[in-house]
Amino acid sequence: MSFPKAFIFDLDGVLVDTAVFHYQAWRRLANDKLGFDISHEFNETLKGISRMDSLDRILALQDVQFSDAEKTDLATLKNEWYLELVQQMTPADLLPGVVLFLEKTRAAGIKIGLGSVSKNAKLILERVEILHWFDAIIDGTKISRSKPDPEVFLKGAQELGFDNADCVVFEDAVAGIEAAKRAQMRTVGIGQPSVLTHADLVLPGFENLKPADLYKLNSNANI
């Protein structure tokens, strides 16, 4: 299989760790507005899931019923609390090795895309000062279906101008890996092999990683 022409990165948990901000905002909503708590373990199941789908999963924990308008208000409130935390972000919030890997990716002539369901993706990229590295950004403002639907990655390949098979997706969530697989893209999981069991390759992060390393691992990982 040919060396990839484009890398498409998820945002939360791959480039930055904003999962803790999401958890803090969702937990505040659950406690203040819904009357129950949510665990960190449950929050892990919301990775890669859209805001409204996440809210539906939270409400289902206690079989709480709200109208669509009320759910929109709740999701908006959660996002306001989340953005208060995001506004405090700096480049120090980037995960280790990210900037150097982006630099090496650009130097290797590989296009760089973002594939995130977050509607705040550009704001976060601006806050951590890596927006300029991206040739295409597909986020929650450009898609109508959440992962594991492949829409976000299909649009990413289209905007980057490459066939799906020429793209490699970097994901930390099971739903994201499934979405990339459904888009017929190769996948690199960032996290634990025991969790990302369907990824073609799983790495702990980007420290000391070079794009060429993926080529050397190509035959071993079947990506």
What does the pLDDT look like over 34-68, one tens digit per residue? 999 999 999 988 887 889 999 999 999 999 999 99
Q: What sign results for the dihedral spanned by CA atoms 134, 138, 141, 146?
A: negative
Query: Are 191 and 17 spatial neighbours (Cβ–Cβ below 8 Å)?
Result: no
Statement: residue 32 has pLDDT above 70? yes
Options 12, 139, 149, 172, the catalytic residue: 12
Instruction: Name the percent of the chain lying above pLDDT 90.
Output: 84
Length of the chain: 223
Quick count: other Cβ atoms within 10 Å of Cβ 46? 21
Average pLDDT of 69-90?
95
Q: What is the mean pLDDT of the chain?
A: 92
User: pTM of this prediction?
Assistant: 0.84
Options 10, 139, 149, 200, the catalytic residue: 10
- For the domain spanning 6-17+94-221, the CATH number is 3.40.50.1000
Quick count: other Cβ atoms within 10 Å of Cβ 183? 23
Backbone angles phi, psi at 185, to 5 degrees: -110, 155
pLDDT value at residue 105 = 97
Structure tokens at 205: 């992060």
Q: What sign results for the dihedral spanned by CA atoms 140, 45, 11, 162?
A: negative
User: Does 19-86 match 6-17+94-221 at the fold level?
Assistant: no
CA 73/CA 174 separation, integer angstroms:
28
Instruction: Name the percent of the chain lying above pLDDT 70.
Output: 96
Q: Is 12 a catalytic residue?
A: yes
- Segments making up each domain of the chain, as ranges: 6-17+94-221, 19-86
pLDDT in tens, 9-23: 999 999 998 888 999
pLDDT value at residue 1 = 53
CATH class for the domain made up of 19-86 = mainly alpha
Between 26 and 215, name the one with better pLDDT.
26
Collapse the DSSP code of 197 into the 3-class scheme (helix H, G, I; strand E, B; otherwise coil) and give the result. Answer: coil
| Edge-first strand listing for the sheet containing 186-190 | 136-138, 111-115, 6-9, 167-171, 186-190, 201-203
Position 220 confidence tier, pLDDT thresholds 50, 70, 90? very low
